[in-house]
Amino acid sequence: MVFKLTTLSPQNPWWRNGNWEREDKDLRDIDILIDRRLVDIDMTGTTILRGVRRSGKTVYLKMLIRKVMDSGIDRKDILYLSGDRNNYREIRGIVHEFFLRQGKTVLFLDEITYIPNWNVLLKELHETMDITIIATGSDPVQLRKKGERLPGRGIEGNEYYFDPLSFGEYVRALRKVAGKVPSGPLSKALKELEGIPVDTYPPGQPRVDGIFPYYIPLEKIFISYLLTGGFPSTTREYVRTGRISDGSFETIVRVLLGALSKNGRSEETGRDILQQLLIGMGGRTDYITIAENTGVHHATVREYLDIMEGARMTYTIHCWDLTRKLHAPRKQKKIVFQSPLLASALHRYLSGGTWDDTMDFMDRNMEALVEATVISHLVWSGERPQMHEQHAFAGFYYNKKECDCVLLSERGFRGYEVKYGKVERADFPFPVTYISKDSLDKDIVPASVFLYGLEKGRWCI
């Protein structure tokens, strides 16, 4: 197949230039690079990263390309293609031609869910060539459906969730670029973190002795985290300007509604359901209540919420039946946004407000936003595609009292209760850590301190 180097060469600037990062279109305009933990690539299989758009997957691929080069792979054996610029036939032809000329090939395939029958393409490439494939997709629903049709193709154990930055990652990333942060409250807070421990700790075992002295600067940075939601693009924007632009909020809204339309669902119905989630944020609900308030069938509500969760935008948290160690399907649920930015962008879209209105929305809903953030972080700490997804270990509990998040492990149940006012302990049939605003005790930890050291699990990037 004949392919045009005028379109292929600019996507692969490392072929001709050792300092290719300066030429790469995805990197050259980034003044503050927010890096993350780099996964170990299985050079004999297929690695898939699935996550929401705007979470930084393309930039992350470029960082992986640098890692592969540093491992000794010849840069001319590395091929990058974008699924939103090349169709199935073009990609298949380019890869075959490239392989015939180069032999062993490392293929970075971005946005594969734009390609119809992408799973068939990966299967063919894996079976007919000595090729390593690293692929990303912004439609996790399709990635999950079609990824399940690739058993035995090297995907097992090589699939990862790609999420916004956790609070700990956010702080550590900002500390690395502190010299580029303009003078102001954020810059001052970062300077005050000099000496803070960087070690992380697993959920349920908060080691705060070395961290709580840094509560004040951590709390200041935590507020900025709630604003940016841990998305690299909004993080860079907030660092430079101290706010999030209307255009960035609009982009996030398009991501929310686009996941529905791409899966053949009505944006209008999706908007109505999302509005109900926003109104009831922090409380319990069920499919029937949402259906009654939106004028659709409860099965439709569940369908839409499944898509939103599959697209890494929300989590539907079920109530535990402690005796059976299973969820109680008929009880109410908690539905939380995986990032606080999704909630504030949705509010901005529905209310048509200003930046001041967004700040007011956050002030009025601070406890609910922190609760959702804590739940997401706890899920990220233990989630694994296919084998240990959130429904297997995360839920909540209510009887006479409610506990916001309850995790099940081999040690049994452990609860996490967010109390942003006065912390009042309650009797639960399991140990509980209380997440406060500023209180500290043996079982009480401020949210910013707790989340700083809460590490994502191995399969969450």
- Note whether 305 and 273 are within 8 A (CB): yes
What is the amino acid identity at position 141?
V
Q: In this structure, which amino acid lies at residue 340?
A: P
Does the pLDDT of residue 406 top 80, yes or no?
Answer: yes
**CB of 28 within 8 A of CB of 22?**
yes
204: DSSP letter: T
Residue 284 is encoded by which pair of tokens? 């319990």
Q: Are 412 and 320 in contact (CB under 8 A)?
A: no
Is 90 exceeded by the pLDDT of residue 90? Answer: no
Angle at 448 between CA 226 and CA 227, to 5 degrees: 10
pLDDT digits over 316-345, tens only?
Answer: 999 999 999 999 988 999 999 999 999 999
Q: Are 217 and 192 in contact (CB under 8 A)?
A: yes
Percent of the chain with pLDDT over 70: 92
Q: Please provide the average confidence, as pLDDT, over all residues in the chain.
A: 87
Instruction: State how far the Cα of 237 lies from the Cα of 243, in Å rounded to an integer.
Output: 7
Q: What is the pLDDT of residue 170?
A: 93
Question: Does the structure show a pLDDT above 70 at 81?
Answer: yes
Phi, psi of 51 (to 5 degrees): -170, 175
Q: Given the structure tokens 């924007």, which residue do they identify?
A: 237
Q: According to the model, what pLDDT value does residue 148 have?
A: 47
The predicted pLDDT at position 7 comes to 67
Q: What is the band of 147 on the pLDDT scale with cuts at 50, 70, 90? A: very low
Ranges of H-type helices in 263-354? 267-279, 287-294, 298-310, 340-351
Among candidate residues 147, 144, 141, the one with its CA nearest the CA of residue 121: 147
**pTM of the predicted protein model:** 0.91
Predicted pLDDT of residue 5:
55
What pLDDT score was predicted for residue 146? 46
For 360, list phi and psi in degrees, rounded to 5.
Answer: -65, -40
Could you read off the pLDDT of 251-298 as tens digits, one per residue? Answer: 999 888 888 887 889 999 999 999 999 999 989 999 999 999 999 999
Q: How many CB atoms lie within 10 A of CB 73?
A: 18
151 CB burial (10 A radius; 0-12, 13-18, 19+): exposed
Q: Mean per-residue pLDDT for 230-242?
A: 91
Q: What percent of the chain has pLDDT over 90?
A: 50
pLDDT for the residue numbered 372: 97
Predicted pLDDT of residue 141? 53
Angle at 203 between CA 163 and CA 455, to 5 degrees: 40
Check pLDDT > 50 for residue 151: no
- Which residues, listed in sequence order, are joined to residue 398 by a DSSP beta bridge? 402
The alpha helices in 365-452, defined as continuous H runs, are 366-382, 390-393, 447-452
Q: How remote is the C-alpha of 333 from its chain's centroid?
A: 21
Looking at the chain, how many residues does it have? 461
What token pair was written down for 211?
Answer: 């961290």
> What is the 8-class DSSP label of residue 121?
H
pLDDT bin (cut points 50, 70, 90) of residue 454 is confident
Cβ neighbors of 365 (< 8 A, separation 6 or more) are 281, 282, 343
Given this model, what pLDDT does residue 244 score? Answer: 94
pLDDT band at 215 (very low <50, low <70, confident <90, very high): very high
The structure tokens listed for 118 are: 């992408």
H helix and E strand count, the chain? 18, 14
Q: What is the pLDDT of residue 149?
A: 45
| DSSP secondary structure letter of residue 139 | -
Residue 103: CB atoms within 10 A of its CB come to: 12
CB distance 425 to 398 below 8 Å: no
Q: What is the pLDDT of residues 10-66, one digit of tens each?
A: 888 998 877 888 888 888 777 777 778 898 888 888 898 988 877 888 889 999 999
**Tokens representing 85?**
């610029």
The domain limits of the chain are 5-162, 166-461
We find that the CATH architecture of domain 5-162 is 3-Layer(aba) Sandwich (3.40)
Q: Over the Cα atoms of the chain, what is R_g?
A: 23
* Widest Cα–Cα separation across the chain: 71
